[in-house]
Amino acid sequence: MTTRVITNISELTTNDPTIGDCSALGRLFDAALVIDDEQVLWVGASADAPDADDVIDAQGCAVIPGFVDSHTHLVFAGERSDEFEARMNGVHYDGGGIDRTVAASRAATSDELRDGTRKRVNELFAGGVTTVEIKSGYELTIEGEKRELEIASEFSDEVTWLGAHVVPPEYKASRDAYIDLVVTSMLEACAPKAKWADVFCDRGAFSVDEAREVLTSARAKGLAPRLHANQLDHSDAIALAVELDCASVDHCTYIDDRDIDLLSGSATVATLLPGAEFSTRSPYPSARRMLDAGVTVALATDCNPGSSYVTSMAFVVAIAVREMAMSVDEALFASTKGGALALRRDDVGFLGVGARADFAILDAPRAAHLAYRPGGNVVASTHRAWRP
Ligand code: NIG
Ligand code: FE
Protein backbone atom coordinates (compact mmCIF):
# COMPACT_ATOMS: atom_id res chain seq x y z
CA MET A 1 0.00 0.00 0.00
CA THR A 2 1.27 3.49 -0.82
CA THR A 3 2.10 5.77 2.08
CA ARG A 4 1.82 9.50 1.87
CA VAL A 5 2.98 12.33 4.11
CA ILE A 6 1.14 15.64 4.22
CA THR A 7 3.70 18.17 5.46
CA ASN A 8 3.81 21.86 6.26
CA ILE A 9 0.32 22.00 7.79
CA SER A 10 -0.05 25.34 9.59
CA GLU A 11 -2.92 24.18 11.80
CA LEU A 12 -4.07 20.57 12.02
CA THR A 13 -7.40 19.83 13.69
CA THR A 14 -7.51 16.17 14.70
CA ASN A 15 -10.53 16.00 17.07
CA ASP A 16 -8.35 13.61 19.05
CA PRO A 17 -7.94 15.02 22.56
CA THR A 18 -4.74 13.05 23.14
CA ILE A 19 -2.97 15.02 20.40
CA GLY A 20 -1.36 18.48 20.38
CA ASP A 21 -2.96 21.03 22.68
CA CYS A 22 -5.11 18.23 24.20
CA SER A 23 -8.32 20.21 23.70
CA ALA A 24 -11.38 18.47 22.21
CA LEU A 25 -10.11 19.70 18.83
CA GLY A 26 -6.67 18.11 19.35
CA ARG A 27 -4.85 20.97 17.60
CA LEU A 28 -1.29 20.81 16.33
CA PHE A 29 0.64 23.59 14.60
CA ASP A 30 3.42 23.11 12.00
CA ALA A 31 2.16 19.57 11.73
CA ALA A 32 2.31 16.58 9.42
CA LEU A 33 0.08 13.60 8.81
CA VAL A 34 1.09 10.22 7.40
CA ILE A 35 -1.57 8.07 5.78
CA ASP A 36 -1.89 4.99 3.62
CA ASP A 37 -4.74 4.40 1.18
CA GLU A 38 -7.13 3.71 4.03
CA GLN A 39 -6.10 5.23 7.33
CA VAL A 40 -4.02 7.65 9.36
CA LEU A 41 -0.69 6.08 10.39
CA TRP A 42 1.09 8.94 12.16
CA VAL A 43 0.38 12.50 13.37
CA GLY A 44 3.01 14.91 14.71
CA ALA A 45 5.30 17.85 14.19
CA SER A 46 6.24 18.53 10.59
CA ALA A 47 9.94 18.44 11.55
CA ASP A 48 9.59 14.86 12.86
CA ALA A 49 7.60 13.42 9.97
CA PRO A 50 8.80 10.00 8.82
CA ASP A 51 9.48 9.31 5.15
CA ALA A 52 6.69 8.08 2.93
CA ASP A 53 6.25 7.07 -0.70
CA ASP A 54 4.58 10.37 -1.66
CA VAL A 55 4.68 13.89 -0.27
CA ILE A 56 1.85 16.43 -0.33
CA ASP A 57 3.02 19.90 0.68
CA ALA A 58 0.14 21.70 2.38
CA GLN A 59 2.08 24.96 1.88
CA GLY A 60 1.24 26.44 5.22
CA CYS A 61 -2.48 25.75 5.01
CA ALA A 62 -4.85 24.26 7.58
CA VAL A 63 -6.09 20.67 7.47
CA ILE A 64 -9.35 19.47 9.03
CA PRO A 65 -11.06 16.08 9.28
CA GLY A 66 -13.48 15.63 6.37
CA PHE A 67 -16.95 16.94 7.14
CA VAL A 68 -19.50 14.27 8.09
CA ASP A 69 -22.82 15.44 6.65
CA SER A 70 -25.14 13.24 8.67
CA HIS A 71 -28.48 14.43 7.26
CA THR A 72 -29.37 14.85 3.57
CA HIS A 73 -32.23 14.14 1.19
CA LEU A 74 -30.16 14.06 -2.02
CA VAL A 75 -32.32 11.72 -4.12
CA PHE A 76 -35.00 13.89 -5.70
CA ALA A 77 -36.11 15.45 -8.97
CA GLY A 78 -37.23 19.00 -9.68
CA GLU A 79 -36.78 22.17 -7.66
CA ARG A 80 -38.92 24.52 -5.58
CA SER A 81 -37.28 27.94 -5.83
CA ASP A 82 -40.73 29.54 -6.16
CA GLU A 83 -41.53 28.38 -2.61
CA PHE A 84 -38.24 29.84 -1.38
CA GLU A 85 -39.06 33.20 -2.97
CA ALA A 86 -42.54 33.16 -1.44
CA ARG A 87 -41.07 32.43 1.99
CA MET A 88 -38.66 35.31 1.67
CA ASN A 89 -41.77 37.41 1.14
CA GLY A 90 -43.38 36.13 4.34
CA VAL A 91 -45.01 32.80 3.48
CA HIS A 92 -44.57 30.23 6.25
CA TYR A 93 -42.92 26.82 5.58
CA ASP A 94 -45.16 23.88 6.54
CA GLY A 95 -43.69 21.00 4.53
CA GLY A 96 -46.64 21.11 2.11
CA GLY A 97 -44.31 21.33 -0.88
CA ILE A 98 -42.97 17.83 -0.23
CA ASP A 99 -45.89 16.56 -2.35
CA ARG A 100 -44.50 18.47 -5.36
CA THR A 101 -41.10 16.80 -5.03
CA VAL A 102 -42.82 13.43 -4.61
CA ALA A 103 -44.69 13.99 -7.89
CA ALA A 104 -41.53 15.10 -9.72
CA SER A 105 -39.45 12.22 -8.33
CA ARG A 106 -42.06 9.59 -9.18
CA ALA A 107 -42.11 10.92 -12.75
CA ALA A 108 -38.31 10.89 -13.11
CA THR A 109 -36.29 8.07 -14.62
CA SER A 110 -33.75 6.31 -12.42
CA ASP A 111 -30.97 7.86 -14.50
CA GLU A 112 -32.36 11.33 -13.87
CA LEU A 113 -32.54 10.68 -10.12
CA ARG A 114 -29.03 9.20 -10.14
CA ASP A 115 -27.55 12.11 -12.10
CA GLY A 116 -29.08 14.67 -9.76
CA THR A 117 -27.87 12.77 -6.71
CA ARG A 118 -24.36 12.49 -8.17
CA LYS A 119 -24.21 16.22 -8.89
CA ARG A 120 -25.15 17.08 -5.31
CA VAL A 121 -22.81 14.48 -3.81
CA ASN A 122 -19.97 15.93 -5.89
CA GLU A 123 -20.76 19.45 -4.68
CA LEU A 124 -20.68 18.25 -1.08
CA PHE A 125 -17.41 16.38 -1.61
CA ALA A 126 -15.79 19.37 -3.33
CA GLY A 127 -16.66 21.37 -0.21
CA GLY A 128 -14.83 19.01 2.13
CA VAL A 129 -17.46 16.37 2.91
CA THR A 130 -16.06 12.82 3.07
CA THR A 131 -19.03 10.97 4.65
CA VAL A 132 -22.63 11.67 3.70
CA GLU A 133 -25.88 10.19 4.93
CA ILE A 134 -28.62 10.01 2.28
CA LYS A 135 -32.36 9.48 2.88
CA SER A 136 -35.13 8.22 0.64
CA GLY A 137 -38.57 9.74 1.16
CA TYR A 138 -39.57 11.40 -2.11
CA GLU A 139 -41.58 8.63 -3.73
CA LEU A 140 -43.53 7.07 -0.86
CA THR A 141 -44.42 3.89 -2.74
CA ILE A 142 -42.85 0.47 -2.20
CA GLU A 143 -41.02 0.43 -5.52
CA GLY A 144 -40.15 4.12 -5.42
CA GLU A 145 -38.65 4.06 -1.95
CA LYS A 146 -36.70 0.94 -2.88
CA ARG A 147 -35.26 2.60 -5.96
CA GLU A 148 -34.28 5.74 -4.02
CA LEU A 149 -32.46 3.58 -1.47
CA GLU A 150 -30.67 1.71 -4.27
CA ILE A 151 -29.55 4.99 -5.84
CA ALA A 152 -28.46 6.37 -2.44
CA SER A 153 -26.41 3.18 -1.87
CA GLU A 154 -24.40 3.90 -5.00
CA PHE A 155 -22.99 6.95 -3.21
CA SER A 156 -22.96 6.07 0.48
CA ASP A 157 -23.12 3.30 3.09
CA GLU A 158 -25.12 5.61 5.34
CA VAL A 159 -28.51 5.10 3.76
CA THR A 160 -31.76 5.94 5.53
CA TRP A 161 -35.26 4.78 4.72
CA LEU A 162 -37.73 7.66 5.13
CA GLY A 163 -40.92 6.01 3.89
CA ALA A 164 -42.71 7.93 6.65
CA HIS A 165 -41.78 11.39 5.37
CA VAL A 166 -45.39 12.53 4.87
CA VAL A 167 -48.62 10.76 3.99
CA PRO A 168 -48.67 10.83 0.16
CA PRO A 169 -51.59 12.46 -1.69
CA GLU A 170 -53.37 9.22 -2.61
CA TYR A 171 -53.56 8.23 1.09
CA LYS A 172 -54.48 11.63 2.59
CA ALA A 173 -58.02 10.39 3.33
CA SER A 174 -56.80 7.11 4.82
CA ARG A 175 -53.57 7.77 6.71
CA ASP A 176 -53.91 4.57 8.78
CA ALA A 177 -53.82 2.56 5.56
CA TYR A 178 -50.56 4.31 4.60
CA ILE A 179 -49.00 3.58 7.98
CA ASP A 180 -50.08 -0.06 7.61
CA LEU A 181 -48.37 -0.21 4.22
CA VAL A 182 -45.24 1.45 5.61
CA VAL A 183 -44.83 -0.94 8.55
CA THR A 184 -45.59 -4.08 6.53
CA SER A 185 -44.81 -4.42 2.83
CA MET A 186 -42.78 -1.22 2.37
CA LEU A 187 -40.54 -2.04 5.29
CA GLU A 188 -40.21 -5.63 4.11
CA ALA A 189 -38.98 -4.39 0.71
CA CYS A 190 -36.83 -1.53 2.00
CA ALA A 191 -35.19 -2.82 5.18
CA PRO A 192 -32.55 -4.88 3.32
CA LYS A 193 -31.54 -1.75 1.36
CA ALA A 194 -30.90 0.63 4.27
CA LYS A 195 -29.04 0.97 7.54
CA TRP A 196 -31.26 3.56 9.22
CA ALA A 197 -34.96 4.39 9.54
CA ASP A 198 -36.18 7.96 9.97
CA VAL A 199 -39.64 9.54 10.39
CA PHE A 200 -40.69 13.17 9.96
CA CYS A 201 -42.40 13.56 13.33
CA ASP A 202 -43.95 17.00 13.25
CA ARG A 203 -47.08 19.02 12.66
CA GLY A 204 -48.58 18.00 9.31
CA ALA A 205 -46.44 14.86 9.03
CA PHE A 206 -46.53 12.02 11.62
CA SER A 207 -47.50 12.08 15.30
CA VAL A 208 -45.28 10.84 18.12
CA ASP A 209 -47.33 7.63 18.42
CA GLU A 210 -47.17 7.01 14.68
CA ALA A 211 -43.42 7.62 14.67
CA ARG A 212 -43.00 5.19 17.59
CA GLU A 213 -44.92 2.53 15.66
CA VAL A 214 -42.88 3.01 12.46
CA LEU A 215 -39.49 3.11 14.20
CA THR A 216 -40.29 0.12 16.41
CA SER A 217 -41.30 -1.92 13.36
CA ALA A 218 -38.19 -0.76 11.51
CA ARG A 219 -35.98 -1.74 14.41
CA ALA A 220 -37.51 -5.22 14.40
CA LYS A 221 -36.43 -5.44 10.76
CA GLY A 222 -32.83 -4.51 11.61
CA LEU A 223 -32.85 -0.76 10.92
CA ALA A 224 -31.44 1.64 13.51
CA PRO A 225 -33.65 4.64 14.37
CA ARG A 226 -33.15 8.38 13.90
CA LEU A 227 -35.83 11.07 13.87
CA HIS A 228 -36.84 14.43 12.36
CA ALA A 229 -38.29 16.28 15.36
CA ASN A 230 -39.59 19.71 16.35
CA GLN A 231 -38.78 21.57 13.15
CA LEU A 232 -42.22 23.17 12.94
CA ASP A 233 -43.64 22.82 16.43
CA HIS A 234 -42.90 21.54 19.90
CA SER A 235 -44.00 17.99 20.80
CA ASP A 236 -42.76 14.94 22.68
CA ALA A 237 -40.73 13.88 19.64
CA ILE A 238 -37.36 14.49 21.31
CA ALA A 239 -38.47 12.41 24.30
CA LEU A 240 -39.42 9.67 21.84
CA ALA A 241 -35.99 9.83 20.19
CA VAL A 242 -34.32 9.40 23.58
CA GLU A 243 -36.76 6.63 24.56
CA LEU A 244 -35.87 4.70 21.39
CA ASP A 245 -32.13 5.44 21.73
CA CYS A 246 -32.09 7.13 18.34
CA ALA A 247 -28.55 7.83 17.14
CA SER A 248 -29.70 11.34 16.35
CA VAL A 249 -32.70 13.63 16.64
CA ASP A 250 -32.65 16.23 13.92
CA HIS A 251 -33.78 19.87 13.66
CA CYS A 252 -34.62 20.51 17.36
CA THR A 253 -35.75 24.01 16.44
CA TYR A 254 -38.41 23.99 19.16
CA ILE A 255 -36.93 22.64 22.37
CA ASP A 256 -37.62 23.04 26.09
CA ASP A 257 -35.68 22.39 29.29
CA ARG A 258 -37.04 18.87 29.65
CA ASP A 259 -35.87 17.99 26.13
CA ILE A 260 -32.42 19.36 26.93
CA ASP A 261 -32.28 17.37 30.18
CA LEU A 262 -33.28 14.18 28.38
CA LEU A 263 -30.74 14.72 25.61
CA SER A 264 -27.87 15.54 27.92
CA GLY A 265 -28.39 12.28 29.78
CA SER A 266 -28.57 10.21 26.60
CA ALA A 267 -26.48 8.91 23.71
CA THR A 268 -28.76 10.68 21.24
CA VAL A 269 -27.05 13.47 19.30
CA ALA A 270 -28.96 16.69 18.53
CA THR A 271 -28.34 17.37 14.85
CA LEU A 272 -28.94 21.01 14.00
CA LEU A 273 -29.71 21.98 10.41
CA PRO A 274 -29.41 25.77 10.22
CA GLY A 275 -29.62 25.71 6.42
CA ALA A 276 -33.31 24.95 6.99
CA GLU A 277 -33.87 27.93 9.29
CA PHE A 278 -31.93 30.14 6.86
CA SER A 279 -33.99 28.99 3.89
CA THR A 280 -37.36 29.09 5.65
CA ARG A 281 -36.69 32.32 7.56
CA SER A 282 -37.30 30.55 10.86
CA PRO A 283 -35.74 31.06 14.28
CA TYR A 284 -32.48 29.14 14.71
CA PRO A 285 -32.31 26.31 17.25
CA SER A 286 -30.83 27.12 20.66
CA ALA A 287 -27.42 25.58 20.13
CA ARG A 288 -25.97 27.50 23.07
CA ARG A 289 -28.47 26.09 25.57
CA MET A 290 -27.83 22.58 24.31
CA LEU A 291 -24.04 22.85 24.33
CA ASP A 292 -23.97 24.51 27.75
CA ALA A 293 -26.06 21.62 29.11
CA GLY A 294 -23.64 19.05 27.72
CA VAL A 295 -25.77 17.84 24.79
CA THR A 296 -23.73 16.40 21.91
CA VAL A 297 -24.47 18.57 18.88
CA ALA A 298 -23.93 17.81 15.18
CA LEU A 299 -24.34 20.16 12.22
CA ALA A 300 -25.51 18.95 8.80
CA THR A 301 -26.83 20.43 5.56
CA ASP A 302 -30.31 18.79 5.35
CA CYS A 303 -29.81 19.24 1.59
CA ASN A 304 -33.28 18.95 0.01
CA PRO A 305 -35.22 20.97 -2.57
CA GLY A 306 -37.76 22.38 -0.11
CA SER A 307 -36.39 23.62 3.18
CA SER A 308 -32.61 23.71 2.61
CA TYR A 309 -31.04 23.44 -0.84
CA VAL A 310 -27.60 23.71 0.74
CA THR A 311 -24.58 21.74 -0.47
CA SER A 312 -21.87 23.47 1.55
CA MET A 313 -20.90 22.41 5.05
CA ALA A 314 -18.69 25.51 5.28
CA PHE A 315 -21.83 27.61 4.83
CA VAL A 316 -23.53 25.66 7.62
CA VAL A 317 -20.53 26.28 9.87
CA ALA A 318 -20.64 29.99 9.03
CA ILE A 319 -24.34 30.27 9.92
CA ALA A 320 -23.86 28.32 13.14
CA VAL A 321 -21.11 30.70 14.18
CA ARG A 322 -22.78 33.93 13.08
CA GLU A 323 -26.38 33.17 14.02
CA MET A 324 -26.29 30.49 16.71
CA ALA A 325 -23.44 31.73 18.90
CA MET A 326 -21.39 28.59 18.40
CA SER A 327 -17.65 29.18 18.51
CA VAL A 328 -15.74 28.29 15.36
CA ASP A 329 -14.25 25.31 17.18
CA GLU A 330 -17.66 24.10 18.37
CA ALA A 331 -19.05 24.38 14.85
CA LEU A 332 -16.06 22.61 13.31
CA PHE A 333 -16.29 19.81 15.89
CA ALA A 334 -20.08 19.48 15.41
CA SER A 335 -19.71 19.22 11.62
CA THR A 336 -17.01 16.55 11.78
CA LYS A 337 -16.89 14.47 14.98
CA GLY A 338 -20.48 15.45 15.86
CA GLY A 339 -21.68 14.09 12.51
CA ALA A 340 -19.72 10.89 13.11
CA LEU A 341 -21.38 10.47 16.52
CA ALA A 342 -24.78 11.10 14.92
CA LEU A 343 -24.03 8.13 12.64
CA ARG A 344 -22.47 6.11 15.48
CA ARG A 345 -19.22 5.91 13.55
CA ASP A 346 -15.90 5.69 15.35
CA ASP A 347 -13.68 5.63 12.25
CA VAL A 348 -14.46 9.06 10.75
CA GLY A 349 -14.74 12.64 11.97
CA PHE A 350 -11.25 12.70 13.49
CA LEU A 351 -7.64 12.38 12.39
CA GLY A 352 -5.96 10.32 15.09
CA VAL A 353 -3.97 7.17 14.31
CA GLY A 354 -6.37 4.54 12.95
CA ALA A 355 -8.94 7.03 11.63
CA ARG A 356 -9.99 6.78 8.01
CA ALA A 357 -7.75 8.98 5.87
CA ASP A 358 -10.57 11.47 5.20
CA PHE A 359 -9.55 15.12 5.34
CA ALA A 360 -9.71 18.50 3.66
CA ILE A 361 -6.86 20.89 2.95
CA LEU A 362 -8.03 24.48 3.23
CA ASP A 363 -6.92 27.46 1.20
CA ALA A 364 -6.36 29.23 4.51
CA PRO A 365 -3.90 29.17 7.39
CA ARG A 366 -6.61 28.56 10.00
CA ALA A 367 -9.86 26.62 10.06
CA ALA A 368 -11.59 29.78 11.31
CA HIS A 369 -11.63 30.95 7.68
CA LEU A 370 -14.54 28.55 7.11
CA ALA A 371 -16.74 31.01 9.01
CA TYR A 372 -14.65 34.14 8.43
CA ARG A 373 -14.93 33.95 4.62
CA PRO A 374 -18.56 32.85 4.12
CA GLY A 375 -19.31 31.95 0.54
CA GLY A 376 -15.61 31.77 -0.36
CA ASN A 377 -13.84 28.72 -1.72
CA VAL A 378 -12.08 27.93 1.54
CA VAL A 379 -11.76 24.18 0.89
CA ALA A 380 -8.85 23.68 -1.54
CA SER A 381 -9.04 19.88 -1.83
CA THR A 382 -10.86 16.93 -0.32
CA HIS A 383 -9.16 13.57 0.28
CA ARG A 384 -11.21 10.42 0.85
CA ALA A 385 -9.73 7.13 1.92
CA TRP A 386 -10.06 4.23 -0.47
CA ARG A 387 -13.34 2.36 0.06
CA PRO A 388 -14.00 -1.18 -1.14
O1 NIG B 1 -35.73 17.93 6.75
N2 NIG B 1 -38.80 18.23 7.29
C3 NIG B 1 -38.87 17.28 6.56
N4 NIG B 1 -38.12 17.04 5.49
C5 NIG B 1 -37.20 17.99 4.95
C6 NIG B 1 -37.85 18.95 4.05
C7 NIG B 1 -38.49 18.31 2.91
C8 NIG B 1 -39.00 19.24 1.86
O9 NIG B 1 -39.50 20.34 2.12
O10 NIG B 1 -38.93 18.79 0.71
C11 NIG B 1 -36.40 18.65 6.04
O12 NIG B 1 -36.41 19.88 6.21
FE1 FE C 1 -34.42 16.50 6.72
How far from 369 is each of 66, 314, 319, 366, 377, CA to CA, in Å? 15, 9, 13, 6, 10
* Angle 93-203-231 from CA coordinates, rounded to 5°: 60
Considering the domain boundaries, does residue 290 fall inside one? yes
- 47 and 139, same domain (yes or no): no
For ligand 2, the distance from its centroid to the CA atom of residue 165, given in whole angstroms, is 9
- Reported as type and span, the H/E element at residue 381 is strand 379-383
> What is the tally of structural domains in the chain?
2
Instruction: Using the mean position of ligand 1's atoms as its centre, give its distance from the Cα of residue 191 in Å.
Output: 22
Residue with CA at minimum distance from ligand 1 atom 5: 307
Closest ligand to the CA of 277? 1
Average pLDDT over the chain, rounded to an integer: 98
69 sits in which H/E element? strand 67-69
User: What are the DSSP E strand ranges found in 149-275?
Assistant: 158-164, 196-201, 224-225, 227-229, 248-251, 269-272
Centroid of ligand 1 to alpha carbon of 190 (angstroms):
20
Using the atom order of ligand 1, give the atom closest to the CA of residue 138.
10
- Distance from Cα 384 to the centre of ligand 1, integer Å: 28
Side-chain-side CA neighbours of residue 376 (13 Å) = 14
Q: Are residues 94 and 37 in the same domain?
A: no
Q: How far apart are CA 90 and CA 68, in angstroms?
A: 33
Distance 211 CA to ligand 1 centre (A): 16
Closest-lying ligand 1 atom to the alpha carbon of residue 101: 10
388 located within any domain: no
Number of the ligand 1 atom closest to the C-alpha atom of 98:
10
- Report the DSSP beta bridge partners of residue 299: 272
In this structure, which residue's CA is closest to atom 3 in ligand 1?
A: 200
- Residue 13 falls inside a structural domain: yes
27 with 11: CB under 8 angstroms? yes
Residue 22's pLDDT is: 87
User: Do 89 and 138 lie in a common domain?
Assistant: yes
Same domain, 245 and 227: yes
Sheet with 4-13: strands ordered across = 40-45, 27-35, 4-13, 54-65, 359-362, 379-383
Q: Is residue 157 part of a domain?
A: yes
- Please state the atom number of ligand 1 nearest to the C-alpha of residue 250: 1
Nearest ligand to the CA atom of 229: 1
The answer to whether residue 388 scores a pLDDT higher than 80 is: no
Tell me the per-residue pLDDT of 303-316, one tens digit each, with 9 for 90 and over. 999 999 999 999 99
Identify any residues that bridge with 303 across adjacent strands, giving them in sequence order. Answer: 72
Residues 153 and 294 in one domain: yes
**pLDDT of 270-296, one tens digit each?**
999 999 999 999 999 999 999 999 999
Residues near ligand 2 ion, CB 5 Å cutoff: 302
Q: Does 20 fall in a domain?
A: yes
- Asked whether residue 328 is assigned to any structural domain, the reply reads yes
- Per-residue pLDDT for 11 more than 80? yes
- pLDDT for 387: 83
Q: Based on the domain organization, do 103 and 28 belong to the same domain?
A: no
Contacts of 387 (CB under 8 A, 6+ apart): none
* Residue of the CA atom closest to atom 11 of ligand 1: 307
Closest CA relative to residue 336, chosen from 322, 326, 350: 350
- Check which CATH number belongs to the domain holding 266 and give it: 3.20.20.140
Residue nearest to atom 12 of ligand 1 (CA): 307
Percentage of the chain exceeding pLDDT 90: 99
Which percentage of the chain shows pLDDT scores above 70?
Answer: 100
Gap from CA of 373 to ligand 2 centroid (Å): 26
Same domain? For 229 and 151 the reply is yes
Q: Are residues 224 and 118 in the same domain?
A: yes
Q: pTM of whole model > 0.95? A: yes
Question: What CATH number has the domain bearing residue 36?
Answer: 2.30.40.10
From CA 78, how far away is CA 261, in angstroms rounded? 40
Residue range(s) defining the domain that contains residue 55? 4-66+350-383
Q: 10 Å Cβ neighbour count for 284?
A: 18
Q: Which of 73, 82, 201, 299 to mutate to test ligand 1, by most ligand atoms within 8 A of the CB atom? A: 73
Sign of the Cα pseudo-torsion (83, 335, 228, 156, in order): positive
Q: Mark whether 85 and 41 lie in a shared domain.
A: no
Angle at CA 149, nearest 5°, toward 145 and 155? 150
- What is the average pLDDT across 371-386? 97
Kindly tell me if the per-residue pLDDT of 114 is higher than 90: yes
- In a shared domain, residues 46 and 192: no
In a shared domain, residues 89 and 175: yes
Give strand ranges (E) for 79-147: 129-135
Same domain, 84 and 54: no
CA 356 – ligand 2 centroid, Å: 26
Residue list, ligand 1 pocket, CB within 6 Å: 73, 95, 97-98, 101, 200, 228, 231, 276, 302, 304-308
Ligand with the closest atom to the CA of 95: 1
Summarize the confidence of residues 155-180 as an average pLDDT. Answer: 98
Q: How far is the CA of 106 from the centre of ligand 1 (A)?
A: 17
